[in-house]
Amino acid sequence: MASTREHILDAAGRLIHLRGFHNTSVDDILRESGVGKGNLYYYFKSKDELGYAALDRTLERIQEEVLEKVFSTGVDPWTQLNRFLDYPVERAHREGCGGGCPLGNLALEMSDVHEGFRTRLSEAFSQVRSKIQETLERARGEGTLRNGTDAARLAHFIIAGLEGAFMLGKLHRDTDLIVNVVDELKEHVAQYRVA
């Protein structure tokens, strides 16, 4: 059974993902979680502290539900990259296009107005980029990455492409758009593979 703190974090995470941080009030979180204001402030001193904790929880879930599964050991790097690129397509088919990427949404909303969130989100995206870059470097070590490829630059490009797919899919409510962007992205990445 989930603790009161977990109920609060789950409610905050859902609402922030769909409405944004600024458009989610403490009262909204209280209604969604079903807990009293005293309970919320027992666990979190401020809305910012709650927002940081909700972000940390989102990152833990991305780590467990996406990165650990996609980049599991014993799988060749190109299969891992394709699994990573398939994730937004699978999610769009499963959940529709609403919501978009929780990290991307928050980055767009908060980066220019809140240094604490900007710093945490920058670190989060850096962790994902590092995982992709490590995978590309492993491909280089196996001799399957084209010579001269800048792995860090390609990893940034992959993230930018996926974030763009999430954003456009959300904007147009179009799963096919996400599929098409990801297919183009896969074709581009495949050009770096040495057969």
Nearest Cα neighbor of 108 from 32, 17, 172, 189 is 17
pLDDT, one tens digit per residue, over 134-176 is 999 999 999 999 999 999 999 999 999 999 999 999 999 999 9
Inter-CA distances, 54 with 44, 51, 71, 96, Å: 11, 5, 24, 22
Nearest Cα neighbor of 161 from 76, 84, 92, 77 is 84
* pLDDT of 1: 64
For the whole model, what pTM was predicted? 0.90
| 93 and 175 Cβ atoms separated by less than 8 Å | yes
The three-point CA angle 111-101-73 to 5° equals 110
| 177 and 194 Cβ atoms separated by less than 8 Å | no
pLDDT, one tens digit per residue, over 65-99 is 889 999 988 899 999 999 999 988 898 888 887 78
In the CATH hierarchy, which fold is given to the domain comprising 1-58?
A: Arc Repressor Mutant, subunit A (1.10.10)
3-state secondary structure of 145: strand
CATH topology of 1-58 equal to that of 71-195?
Answer: no
**Angstrom distance (rounded) from CA 48 to CA 70:** 31
**Angstrom distance (rounded) from CA 71 to CA 147:** 23
What's the chain's average pLDDT? 93
| 50 and 42 Cβ atoms separated by less than 8 Å | no
- What single DSSP character describes residue 192? T
| 129 and 156 Cβ atoms separated by less than 8 Å | yes
Domain ranges of the chain: 1-58, 71-195
Greater pLDDT, 1 or 170:
170
Domain 71-195, CATH class in plain words = mainly alpha
Question: Residue 2 pLDDT > 80, yes or no?
Answer: no
